[in-house]
Chain A
């Protein structure tokens, strides 16, 4: 952390941190000196506006202007065609602060943690070169489905926001290795997240999760999973308020499981549509299907260094036995959970 201006021997890295700067003039530099600068550190100063002279460092690849008082990023930033890393943590930026054309920049790492974003701006969602996006410690209320367009994304840090749900489209970010969603208000994890085959680390601590989807077991490469500070169920009492299936559902189940042929001259179109919506029971030993009526079942499983994680899955009926778990030991434990006294009417979730 330089407390005096300095430059490295090659003249490519310029350190101007902690200098009480509120403006920056690089006029004294020759053109060739300006072309040399590849990294610029302007963090911990007093910039309330983005210093225009920075935009003329045409070979700039790395810019850190964190811990200032910026509210706007000017259009001229588009001149920095070689900029790969842009860090502006702890400023006063929000979703309206960036130029309309910002999506054309070839930035790979964007860190805007500690600002005032309430939404992820549309421009960011079109930056297909983005590998790392940090918006930790902002005021984001949700994650837009358009996040799936960031196909190069390997790191997504959204910890410390106001997010209450995760759209299944996050699962389309197949290059994602590190997903941080800690310190939010998330109540459930979409089962589609098991499509994130590259995921190595998932941070979910300090949320409102009571269980995880059973599908999470497919994340075989997962090395880190943080779950502290969630009201995870310790014991699960079977929900005795199970709604029995409707006659239509029962009829539909028989047609599908018996493979009874039907065509458009047999049935009105609404029933054909209904029959095509049948879901297969996740139990591989059960050939059953269900439409709207299914049973939630929690099983406690050891996974990723964690002991007794409550994993939820859905079955076609209370009589359907649950699929084999990954750990034979936890099978024995959940047998215990299954023998619940019939007079237990309430589903009890203990945090």
Chain B
């Protein structure tokens, strides 16, 4: 299998170009992508235009559509903002910290027969520039900014792209399918009409 030379991306633009090349092939080398993303040193002036925060919950801001092979987006987490427990609709998910820290809690898929709550498998804190990976065979996760003083910004790559996922109620294991929306795309705010929280949290 052909491997792209692992040269450290000089900039976000450089990282995007490298990802386009890597994803030309249909096979995804997870370690390679994780390594490339981790080696990009976060420079705020390169991604600031995508980092649009909302007061009440985390935002998803589309950066690049990866020629249909992947979606690259930036998530902005205010103090205390967290996601539901969710799956990744059979896709690869890479998560890199650009600023601040995020806590990732892993869960197994709930067992319908047991009808109980979901208990966490493990937990870790992701630090600036670290890149984590997950897919549905590994399990489910919840991502949270537990800081009361600092915001957090993360870079996410999903391949193939997906528009819906399942969110899980930790107390019952019950799940809902939710449609995922973007707060902004390519640096422009793109409102979506929804008055109720999409996340069972």
Interface, chain A (partner B; CB < 8 A): 1, 66, 89-90, 113-114, 134, 136-137, 155, 157, 159-160, 178, 180, 182-183, 200-201, 203, 205, 223-228, 232, 234, 304-308
Which stretch, B6-14, B16-24, B193-201, touches the partner chain A?
A: B193-201
Q: Are B80 and A228 in contact (CB under 8 A)?
A: no
Chain A interface mostly helix, strand, loop or mixed?
A: loop
Given contacts A90-B149, A201-B57, A307-B172, whether A159 and B195 have CB atoms under 8 Å apart is no
Min CB–CB distance B143 → chain A (angstroms): 12
17 A-B residue pairings within 8 Å (CB atoms): A1-B44, A90-B149, A113-B148, A136-B149, A157-B80, A159-B80, A159-B148, A178-B55, A201-B55, A201-B56, A228-B170, A234-B117, A234-B172, A305-B196, A305-B201, A306-B200, A307-B169
Query: Are the CB atoms of B176 and A307 closer together than 8 Å?
Result: yes
Contact among B44, B82, B197 for A228, CB-based, below 8 A: B82
When distances are taken between beta carbons in the complex, the residues of chain A under 8 Å from B197 are 223-225, 304-306
Chain B contact patch, size range: 20 to 34
Residue numbers in B under 8 Å from A304 (CB-CB): 196-197
User: Which chain A positions have C-beta within 8 A of B169?
Assistant: 306-308
A101 to chain B, nearest CB (A): 27
Chain A residues with Cβ below 8 Å from B104 are none
Candidate in B148, B197, B201 with the most chain A CB atoms within 10 angstroms = B148
Please determine whether A232 and B201 come into contact, CB atoms closer than 8 angstroms: no
Interchain CB contact (< 8 A) of B80 among A66, A182, A225, A308 = A182
Q: What CA separation (Å) do A201 and B148 show in the bound complex?
A: 16
CA distance A90 to B44 in the complex (A): 22
Question: Least Cβ distance of B97 to chain A in Å?
Answer: 15
CB of B79 closer than 8 Å to a CB of A: yes
Of residues 137 through 182 on chain B, the ones whose CB sits less than 8 Å from some CB of chain A are: 142, 146-149, 169-172, 174, 176
Q: Report Cα–Cα, A201/B197, bound state, in Å.
A: 10
Contact residues of B between 45 and 75, Cβ < 8 Å to A: 55-57
Contact B79 A200 (CB under 8 A): no
Which chain B residues border A308 with CB–CB below 8 Å? 169, 171-172, 174
Q: List, in ascending order, chain A residues with CB within 8 A of B146's CB.
A: 183
- Alpha-carbon distance A228/B196, docked complex (angstroms): 17
Are the CB atoms of B117 and A137 closer together than 8 Å? Answer: no
B44 touching A114 by the CB < 8 A rule?
no
A305 adjacent to B198 (CB under 8 Å)? yes
B149, B172, B196: the one within 8 Å of A89 (CB): B149
- Complex CA distance for A183 and B148, rounded to whole angstroms: 10
Q: Which of A1, A66, A114, A200 contacts B148 (CB under 8 A)?
A: A114
Minimum C-beta distance from B71 to chain A (A): 24
Which chain B residue shows the least CB distance to A232?
B171
When chains A and B are docked, how far (Å) is the Cα of A203 from the Cα of B55? Answer: 12
Residues on A with beta carbons closer than 8 Å to the beta carbon of B200? 305-307
Residue of chain B at shortest CB distance from A115:
B149
B70-93 contacts to A, CB under 8 A, are 79-80, 82
Q: A271 to B117: give the CA distance in the assembly, Å.
A: 50
- Give Cα A234–Cα B56 distance, bound, in whole angstroms: 27
Evaluate contact between B148 and A226: CB separation under 8 angstroms. no
Most-contacted residue by chain A among B79, B142, B195, B201 (CB, 10 A): B79
Interchain CA distance A137-B149 in the complex, whole Å:
7
Given pairs A114-B149, A160-B148, A183-B146, 7 additional interface contacts (CB within 8 A):
A136-B149, A157-B80, A183-B80, A200-B56, A205-B201, A232-B171, A305-B197
